């Protein structure tokens, strides 16, 4: 496997790894991190966890569409349609969060890495759209 397929597989693997890490954070660490925090910060932790989840699910959906193209299950033209487009830009592209020192460090790390992945995927999506057009 080489070229674009290998590239997308690496990006897919990175996305899956971050999804698992985010799931584990929410399932096993988030509640402990919130203990003792003021209510407004606890609310912010919940909000930012949802932002991480939104970014990663948007990216994973887009990656799965690209895998479907490479497997011949859908056409490139279908993959660049609205049904497979990244969405949630207002929430997902917002870079805020990692600089907030009131948030747990594990969450700040997930925020930073998920934002980077979402923005890279946005650029990839644009490249794919131009190539198909």
* pLDDT digits 0-9 by tens, 10-56: 999 999 999 999 999 999 999 999 999 999 999 999 999 999 999 99
CATH number of the 3-132 domain: 1.10.8.930
Taking only the tens place, the pLDDT of each residue in 118-131 is: 999 999 999 999 99
Please state the pTM of the whole predicted model: 0.92
- Residue 2 scores a pLDDT above 70: no
Q: Which residues contact 45 (CB under 8 A, 6 or more apart)?
A: 30, 33, 34, 37, 103, 104, 107
Domain ranges of the chain: 3-132
């Amino acid at each position: 496997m080489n070229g674009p397929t290998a590239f997308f597989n690496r990006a897919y693997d990175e996305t899956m790894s971050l999804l698992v890490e985010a799931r584990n954070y929410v399932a096993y660490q988030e509640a402990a991190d919130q203990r003792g925090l003021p209510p407004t910060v606890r609310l912010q932790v919940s909000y930012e966890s949802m932002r991480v989840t939104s970014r990663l699910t948007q990216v994973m959906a887009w990656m799965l569409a690209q895998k479907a193209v490479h497997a011949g299950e859908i056409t490139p033209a279908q993959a660049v349609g609205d049904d497979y487009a990244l969405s949630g830009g207002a929430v997902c592209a917002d870079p805020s969060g990692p600089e907030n020192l009131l948030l747990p460090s594990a969450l700040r790390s997930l925020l930073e890495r998920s934002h980077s992945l979402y923005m890279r995927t946005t650029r990839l999506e644009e490249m794919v759209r131009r190539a198909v057009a």
